[in-house]
Chain A
Amino acid sequence: MDLAAGITPEDLDLFFQEADEQLQLLDEDIIRLEKEANNPELMQEIFRAAHTLKGSSAMVGYQRLSDLAHAMENVLDHVRKNALAVSPSVIDALLHGLDIMRSLRQEMVSPDAKPMDIADAVAELSAFVKSKSEPSKQSVEQPSALILDAEAKAKLENAGKEGKQAYFIKITLDKQCTWAAVRSFQIINGLSSIADIIASLPSPQEIEEGKSSNLLEIVIACSLGEEDIRKILAEVSEVENIEISVFKSEKPAELAKAAVSDSPAPGREDNKLSHTVRIDVNRLDTLMEQVGELVINRNQISQLGKMLAEKYHDDEIIITFTDSVSQIAKIVSTLQQDVMSIRLLPVEIVFNTLPRLVRDIARKENKKVEFIIEGQETEVDRSVIEHIKDPLIHMLRNSVDHGIETPEERVSSGKPETGTIRLSAVHEQDNIVITLEDDGKGIDPEAIRKAAIKKNIDSAETISKLTDSEAVNLVFGSGFSMAKEVTEVSGRGVGLDVVKTNIEVLGGAVSVESVPGKGTKFTLTLPLTLAIIPALLIKTGGTICAVPLSCIVEADKLEAKDIQTVRGREVSLFRDNVLPLLRLDEVFGWKAVENRNTENLHVVVVRFSGTQVGLVVDELLEQQELVVKSLDHFVGASNGITGASILGDGRVVLILDVASLIRSTISERQNGNNKKTKVVSSKIGIKY
């Protein structure tokens, strides 16, 4: 597309930033409008969003977007003025228009895109609006002549008696002038402050009614001279030419200049002009990284302080040093929290995109759904928010598609015709808990058991032993789809297992509760950030590793005699269950260290996707907050490792990727590999 002159890439960035906000706002508000047709504030907000889009897209030279926004604005204006009722078809047309707008916006950033046709969308919108010609486009009528009627003559005579001078003014407006009528009004309005308007062509009435001409002739009477008249006219824009001549000679009058007094300065208020600033996300990421480094260094200095204090107990310098170190440590902690909080975003960024989805699916499926959102102001780190949208969309589709019944089914089972889906978010300690609850038909544990047996999820015996709650949670099993038949909405073979995997990759958990006939409730528990994680440091084969606390079920002592071998693999009995064991040094191919204590070991039980595995380690060290550093730049995505971190003493530790470790273990087990567990072939390790 061709940009308007003078539009720089920075301008475009700004334009996109705002346009995206307005588009999102429109999306949310149009959906709301369907239910709150009588909310004038909402109506104004929608109107303004369309209006702003119209203006700014025209400014950057994007005419099609501007035209479409204009068509939407017209419809909205009719609705606003109660000339058009909000009907589902109006909402459909507005949403359709909005979809095209989004495509147009995308078009701007993809130069190879085929220009989108807006004619259909504009026609669909315009159909709701009675045809109305633009008054500003009225043709220019050349006036024949300015004739003074009786009234004008009387005015002129009176003015003459007051000693005023009559002038004839001929003004030619700029050909580019957008609204000649308003410009003419401005001229007459301006002149009336110093003069009596005797007559004009077009007449003042015609001008106010919108009649326009590029030529304006006026007869005025005033006590000032030509200079002063020119001064007034000079304030008017878009004037091409001014001719002033004396209309009828009368005796000049004294000048009466009304002094424009400067108003006294009212008391100053200390209101801030703006309470927010916009920052590029990348800058925030860099800041976070810097603070991360600072945290690492703080840990190093703290440790150094401890060592010095141990070495020179009563030395005053050391005491002062330790004091100031603990002071710095406190400040760094606060700084870290503050920076973290800047990165927090309300979940509404994701939540607000969902009502449209619910509406579309419900309309397609002929279901009636009320979608309630609560706690949308709950904040969570950017890194998390980016990852929760897809799982939420999936669960929501699932709820509308399989949870909520058709209105007929609902009525016959004694429920209100309209189903309710409630999405809410709350903070619980260092987690955000998101629940999605519907009052649909619920999940039948017996049906799940049958399906699970049929799909060979596990042995029939094991499955039939499951409690109802456990059975219902089988819906998260891989390849498990609840749909009885494949529909357009869901059931394309992608099941809730994807949701579970996505959430667990984030260090979160997902569970479902359901009462058949009453409804279903999904609960997602997610960490507030992914940038800093609490982890347990372990040592095995001389190497220190970190295990994210979110994956750990528990850690315990393990004696060599407790380890048994079943079909060539090491297991141990743990809480009456057989726990597969994994030796990290073997997994990663670390060389065994001599004089290693092989009798008194420890086991760290980790869980992912419902599977537990015991990591056999030599030593449990301490729990620490770790700043996660990505390894991708250096070694590529490595199986079994999510990243690295630097400890207080400067050592680098690898952070274990429990999910991939467990997945590899399972796949090996399913492949019937009898060899000793060797999960990852690539050798990764850090030697000291």
Chain B
Amino acid sequence: MATVMIVDDAMFMRKKCAQVLSQNGYAVVEASSGAEALTAYQQEKPDCVLLDITMPDMDGIEALKELLKVDPGAKVSMCSAMGQQGMVIEALKLGAKDFVVKPFDVTRVIGAVKKMIG
């Protein structure tokens, strides 16, 4: 079973994504901050990561940089809200694999995960 890590400080988003993913047969690791994500990534070694951009302390871009330092092969898809095109482009340049735009429908999240895991 593939493991997906969801990183989002917004609890509702996180839980909803987790629910959808586990219903589709994925194991889910949740993290509510960039720092948590880094620790969890190294412990749980998820197959891919859904990473929110707007987060306190360490935002999604910083977290992405750190994740890629830890694992240059990390498969990360950014979760972004409307109006953050610039940030997403930056993330893609840095090495993010994909992005989903909030509010997203379920199939898109699953689709992004499937594509990342391959």
Q: Which residues of A contact B (CB under 8 A)?
A: 4-6, 11, 14-15, 17-19, 44-45, 47-48, 51-52, 54-56, 58-60, 66, 70, 134-136, 178-179, 181-182, 185-186, 189, 208, 210, 234-238, 260-263, 265-266, 268-269, 271, 273-274
In the complex, how many angstroms separate the beta carbon of B82 from the nearest chain A beta carbon? Answer: 7
Cross-chain contact A186 with B116 (CB below 8 angstroms): no
The answer to whether A185 and B116 touch across the interface, beta carbons within 8 angstroms, is no
Which B residues touch A186, using CB under 8 A? 92, 98-99
Q: Is the CB of A208 within 8 A of B32?
A: no
B-side contacts of A18, CB under 8 Å: 10-12
Q: Contact check: which of B30, B83, B102, B116 meets A273 at CB < 8 Å?
A: B30
Given A234-B115, A237-B100: A136 and B42 interface contact (C-beta under 8 Å): no
Q: Do A179 and B112 form a contact, CB below 8 Å, given A263-B73, A273-B40? A: no
Contact A55 B102 (CB under 8 A): yes
Instruction: Select one of A48, A70, A185, A266 contacting B42, CB under 8 A.
Output: A266
State the B residues within 8 Å of A (CB).
9-13, 15-16, 19-20, 29-32, 36, 39-40, 42-43, 45, 54-56, 70-73, 81-83, 85, 88-89, 92-93, 97-106, 108, 111-112, 115-116, 118
Residues of A within 8 A of B16 (CB): 11, 14, 59
- Can you report 7 residue pairs joining A to B where beta carbons are below 8 Å apart? A11-B19, A52-B13, A55-B103, A135-B85, A182-B88, A208-B89, A260-B73
- Most chain B CB within a 10 A radius of its CB, from A14, A48, A189, A237: A237
Give chain B nearest CB distance to A126 CB in angstroms: 14
Q: Does A268 contact B42, Cβ atoms closer than 8 Å?
A: yes
Are B11 and A48 neighbours in the complex by a CB distance under 8 Å?
A: no
In the bound complex, do residue B30 and residue A265 qualify as a contact, i.e. CB atoms below 8 Å apart?
Answer: no
Instruction: Give the CA-CA distance A622 to B56 in the complex, in Å.
Output: 55
- The distance in angstroms between the C-alpha atoms of A439 and B53, with both chains bound, is 46
CB <8 Å contact, A48 and B88: no
Given contacts A189-B93, A265-B45, contact A14 B73 (CB under 8 A): no
Nearest CB of B to A533, in Å: 36
- Whether B10 pairs with A268 at a CB distance below 8 angstroms is no
In angstroms, Cα B76 to Cα A563, docked, is 85
Please report the C-alpha to C-alpha distance between residue A14 and residue B14 in the assembled complex, in whole angstroms: 10
Q: B66 CB to closest chain A CB, in angstroms?
A: 12
CB proximity of B101 to chain A, nearest CB, Å: 4
B43/A269 in contact, CB under 8 A: yes
Nearest CB of chain B from residue A233's CB, rounded to whole Å: 10
**Which of B13, B43, B45, B85 lies in contact with A179, CB distance below 8 A?**
B85
A15 touches B70 (CB 8 A): no
B28: shortest Cβ distance to chain A, in Å?
12
Asked if A182 and B92 make an inter-chain contact with CB atoms under 8 angstroms apart, the answer reads yes
Question: In the complex, how many angstroms separate the beta carbon of A162 from the nearest chain B beta carbon?
Answer: 24
Q: With CB as the reference atom, state the residue of chain A lying closest to B71.
A: A263
Cα A48 to Cα B52 with chains together (Å): 12
A136 lies within 8 A of B102 (CB): no
Residues of B with C-beta under 8 A to A269:
39, 42-43
Give complex CA distance A135, B89 in Å. Answer: 14
The answer for the CA separation of A262 and B39 in the assembled complex, in Å, is: 18
The reply to whether B31 and A58 contact each other, CB–CB distance below 8 Å, is no
* CB–CB B116/A263 < 8 A: no
A260 to B16: give the CA distance in the assembly, Å. 33
With contact pairs A54-B81, A185-B92, A273-B39 given, residues A235 and B13 touching in the complex (Cβ less than 8 Å): no
